[in-house]
Every structure is written in structure tokens, then in C-alpha cells.
Homo-oligomer: A and B are copies of this chain.
Amino acid sequence: MVMIRQILHLYFLFFFTRSNFVKITMAFKFFSTIGTGKSRLIFRQLFDSVSSTYTYLLGDATTQKCILIDPVLELAHRDFQLTKDLNLKLVYAVNTHMHADHITGSGQLKTMSGCKSIISKSSGADADILVKEGDYIEFGNHKLKVLSTPGHTNGCCTFYFEEHGMAFTGDALLIRGCGRTDFQEGDAATLYNSVHQKIFTLPESTLLYPAHDYSGLTVTTVDEEKRLNPRLTKSLQDFVQIMNNLKLGYPKQIGEWYRMVAFWCKSFNTLSVQFFAALKWKQKLSSFSLWLVILLRPDPGHQASLLIALIHVSYST
């Protein structure tokens, strides 16, 4: 399972590698903090413009321990470099959920820093530490409480940082929006209840940091979303109707090959190992290529939760 993921990671790395990594090698001792004494927090919001993903760096200024929430594979170098610049020791790479629109940087960060990875047990994903509702993720003198907020996926969590009045909502709640529920293990009614029971019950001044924003907004509050969210201010019934009629395309990062593979899954509906010549894609490839497509379906009940690996057995003509 891990090996197949590594292959998948390598594939994304190959196709989506970016060259603009920040290259800074000097270290430094001082940094700006939030709070005083033992509660001093180093906080940075980071952005991936390709998948519009926010990654969050939270560091304890006293013990120098830090965590990264929702790192992106292609920007793992940037994030790790920043921890070094700020003289921090990365202890955990944490994911709010298993992402469909980008590959997590957790694996890369583990290799680079020796940190542990964390995700919820109900996500079905592999990680060094699997967390559940009510658990705490600790770094130095700080801790985040795990709130289970399923609906976008089964394993979606919100990490509540009570001490500093922040919550990291992943894709459960976005600024004036929410994660899609027509994909993976999505369920609109479940998401509605998660947000209303777990997020909207937090103090109204709580700063909400989402996993994505597509219009350049960086943060919101419980107040704002309770009053202004165009979907989640509706009734449960109306919300479900809205979510079931969004007619969204596949996430752009998954791309054309995913759609093709999804079609195959529908056709075969079993564990399949299929070979096919990528004649349809010939125009897009520099050379004629043969693709070995392995479709693994650990849970046949969930079409979209497939673990898919593409092994490129290419040769030039």
C-alpha cells in the first residue's frame, strides 16, 4: 500500500513539480510570536496557488517544536525550509483529511525532517498516528483538539486551538462555502450536521482557517459564517438540495487520466489490472507510451475512494 502511494507520489512529483522553491539556507534566531510566556505561538499561513491550498505552520516559541497542517507535496521543500529559517523542529505533519485535489507533503516531510504523520483513523489512510474525536495533537506547550467533522469525507477533522481562538477546518467549512459532498465519501446532511454541531458551536470570535480559498480570502470567523455562509445558513433540506445540484467537475489536479480511470472503474467494478496503449493521449506525449494501469479497489462499495496507481512503462519509438 505504502509502495503504491510512493509510486503515485512520484508520478505527481513528475507531472506537477514546480521550480520556484524558496532557496534560503541561512538560519536565524528571532521570530515574531503571538501571545506571551509559555503560550507564545509562531504562526504562518502558506498558500499553494496551483490547488489553492492553505498550509499552516504552528510553532511553540519556547520549545521550538512545530507542526504543519495540510502540507502540499510540491511545496514540502518550501515548508521545511521555513521551519529551518524559524529555527523550529518539525514534529508532526498533520492532515485534516485525505485530499483529492492535491497530494499531501507528509511523506516528503517525514523523509526530510524525521517528523511523524497524523490523520484521522476514519479517513482510512495510513499515517504514523491515527487520531479520533477528542484526541489532542500536542507540540511543545500547545495542543489542538481533534473534532470529527465528516461529510466532505468520512475522515474529515477540524483541529481546534482553544488557547489562541483558532480552528483549522480543512474542507468541512470554507470561507463562505464548504467542501463538495458529491465525491469520495461525501454526504451533504452529514456535513451540515458536522458544521452546525462542531464548528458553529465554537466561540463566535474563533478564527476559522480553511484548507482552501479560491477568491483570495485568508481567514473567517464563526460569526461571519453563521451569518454570511450562503449554503450553511440555509435549512438542512435546502443545503442538501444545493449540494446535490452543484454539478462540479473532477478536481483539476486529478485531471484527465483520473476521469478515464474512473470510467474504467464503473465499467469493471472489480479489482482490475488492465493494460492499454495510450493512443488517445498520443498527441500529449512526447513519445509513444504504454501505460500499465492498476486499479485497486479496497472497498468496492465506494467507487470514488479508489486507490489508483499509474505505472508508466514508457518506451520511445
Contact A28 B228 (CB under 8 A): yes
Consensus secondary structure, chain A interface: loop
**Which of the 9-residue segments A183-191, A212-220, A235-243, A264-272 touches chain B?**
A212-220
Contact partners of A176 in chain B: CB under 8 A: 22, 24
Are B32 and A227 interface neighbours, CB within 8 A? no
Q: Which residues of B contact A24 (CB under 8 A)?
A: 176, 228, 230
Partner of A224, one of B21, B31, B48: B31
Q: Does A205 contact B (CB under 8 A)?
A: yes
As a 0/1 sequence over residues 15 to 29 of chain A, the CB contacts with chain B under 8 angstroms (1 = contact) are 000001111101111
Q: How far is the CA of A233 from the CA of B49 in the complex (A)?
A: 28
Tell me which of A39-47, A103-111, A293-301 binds B. A39-47
Are A46 and B216 in contact, CB atoms less than 8 angstroms apart?
yes
* Interface check A82, CB cutoff 8 A: yes
Closest residue on chain B to residue A33 by CB atoms: B205
Kindly state whether residue A126 has any CB partner on chain B within 8 Å.
Answer: no
Copies in the complex: 2
A165 within 8 A of B: yes
- State whether A31 touches B221 (Cβ < 8 A): yes
Q: Are A215 and B32 in contact (CB under 8 A)?
A: no
- CB neighbours (8 Å) of A217 from chain B are 22, 44, 46, 78, 82
- Contact, CB under 8 Å: B223 / A31: yes
Interface size class of A (residues with CB under 8 A): 35 or more
A26 engages B165 (CB within 8 Å):
no
A49 to chain B, nearest CB (A): 6
Query: In the complex, what distance in Å separates the CA atom of A26 from the CA atom of B227?
Result: 7
Q: Does A85 contact B (CB under 8 A)?
A: yes
Q: A207, B32: Cβ atoms under 8 Å?
A: yes
Sample (14) of A-B pairs whose CB atoms are under 8 Å apart: A20-B214, A20-B215, A22-B176, A23-B230, A26-B228, A26-B233, A27-B227, A31-B205, A32-B165, A32-B206, A32-B207, A47-B216, A47-B218, A49-B52
Q: A28-B227, A32-B165 are in contact. List 13 more A-B contacts (CB 8 A).
A: A22-B176, A23-B230, A27-B227, A30-B223, A32-B221, A32-B223, A44-B217, A45-B218, A46-B216, A47-B47, A82-B217, A85-B228, A86-B224
